[in-house]
Amino acid sequence: MIDVIVIGAGPAGVVAALRAADLGAATALITRDEFGGMAANDGPVPVRTLAHAARLMREARHLANYGIVVSEPHLDYPRLLERVNEVVHDARSHSTFRAQIDSAGVRVYERAGFARFVDPHTIETESGLRLQANKFILCTGGKSRRLSVPGSEWTATHSDAWSLKSVPDSMLVIGAGATGVQVASIFNAFGSRIQLFQSGPRILPTEDADVSAAFAEAFREAGIMVHENFGVIESFEKTQNGIRMLYSNEGKKNSAEASLAVIAVGWVADTGNLNLEIAGIQTNQRGFLQVDEYLQTTAAHVFAAGDVTGRLMLVPQAIQDGFIAATNAIKGRTLPLEKQVSPIGSFTDPEYAQVGLTEAKARETHDVLVATVRFDSTTRTIIDGRTTGFCKLIADRPTRTILGCHVVGERAVEITQVVAIAMASGMRVDDLARIPLSYPTYAGILGRLAATLTRQLNLQGNWQVNEQS
């Protein structure tokens, strides 16, 4: 019998299978579709490629500011989709994981269709495969939540971008979390007229309040119509040129029309096909697999990793989960999850990113120091003509450690990586202020912020080195 079957070959499943095999377990990896999962085929890799094209369109429009004369850029969307396919294949063929998995002796079953339990130790796949194992690691990821209002079958998700023949003239984007703002940003750069609808009072609701406000302002300046607190969707109906959304707000009926409506209202676990009850596996209130700190499910022989557990739904976390789940499945409950510094960001225009606590959360539990630098006041952003945005650094006054960083603007995601490393190593703001970061750079803005916070602390030191950025 196989020791462990891993279901789902996204980042969590691939690393779980590799770790299990490295620990000497006879391992099989089964996946419905292609190796790499949603991450490689429908998530970050292809979406980043669209985002890169959007960035090139924007860059091209800046050329005249630097005396470079070219004609107005024009997007060939079918050609862009070909490029997306090339990138996906290229990234997959250069994946070191695939080579490692093969040399570790993992039996890989790709394009097997959905796998489901037929008894606690046996699974069957749609392709007719039937396998038994002592242990299982479920890494089946998630999928877009769909709305259940009349006419929702006419709406699309981010995945439908791959089957469009051209850029829609106009788009309703419902939901202004990470996926919604990404879709809005990309298709706005491609020339769609975008209306973005958020049911709550602010877009990007899990970000620092200043990030939400600056981001909404930047979106509006870029021509996106942002509707916060828009109300409740009642239905969708097909029109001659696209789709109409009917909604109401405090009893007042309203409607919005566009060529396409994209729903981005959350991410749910992809467990519907697994037949979980047969194996005694329970889900939590949010519908994700219930796991403990060892990533063990309610069935002792079944572990889970990645988006299907509903924790931070990102590739690096899925990879770490896969390693932890496989270690515990093979060696026993030895490796608990750790609380970690987790930078999060998105490649929109403008970019935004965060690490650590928001200012509001930090103030609830700490005596804080806060400094903000606007991007219209730093040398590098002025040189590059990227003056929209700001960077905010939050520190704990008594310990001088960094509690959080929030950025809107160019290279926001890269800036927060530097802060994440500083936070993970327990670096204090005055330590950061003493590092002569390169000038003029985006990361160098952190030096100026750290120097400002150090000055607020009234410490002696050579923080002046970073006064300029």
Ligand X SMILES: Cc1cc2nc3c(=O)[nH]c(=O)nc-3n(C[C@H](O)[C@H](O)[C@H](O)COP(=O)(O)OP(=O)(O)OC[C@H]3O[C@@H](n4cnc5c(N)ncnc54)[C@H](O)[C@@H]3O)c2cc1C
- The residues that touch ligand X, with contacts defined as CB under 6 A, are 7-13, 30-33, 37-39, 43-44, 47, 114-115, 139-141, 158, 179, 270, 273-274, 306-308, 313-316, 318
Maximum CA extent, the chain: 71
CB 399 within 8 Å of CB 427: no
Q: Which two tokens stand for residue 198?
A: 């958020």
HSE-up of residue 108 (Cα within 13 Å, Cβ side): 23
**Comparison of 13 and 389: residue with beta carbon closer to ligand X:** 13
Contacts of 96 by beta carbon, 8 Å cutoff, 6+ apart: none
The structure tokens 């299990």 sit at: 20
- Between 327 and 378, whose beta carbon lies closer to ligand X? 327
Nearer of residues 51 and 423 to ligand X, judged by Cβ: 51
Q: Which is nearer to ligand X, 34 or 228 (CB)?
A: 34
Tokens 């093969």 -> residue:
102
Q: 10 Å Cβ neighbour count for 364?
A: 9
Question: Residue 136: what residue type?
Answer: F
Q: 461: which residues sit within 8 A by CB, 6+ positions away?
A: 430, 433, 434, 454
Least distance (Å) from ligand X to the CB of residue 318?
Answer: 4
Q: Which is nearer to ligand X, 140 or 378 (CB)?
A: 140
Cβ closest to ligand X, residue 180 vs residue 409: 180
- Exposed, middle or buried by CB within 10 Å (0-12, 13-18, 19+), for 175? buried
Q: Least CB distance from residue 379 to ligand X, whole Å?
A: 29
Q: What distance in Å separates the CA atoms of residue 80 and residue 53, rounded to the nearest whole number?
A: 8
CB 248, min distance to ligand X, A: 29
Length of the chain: 469
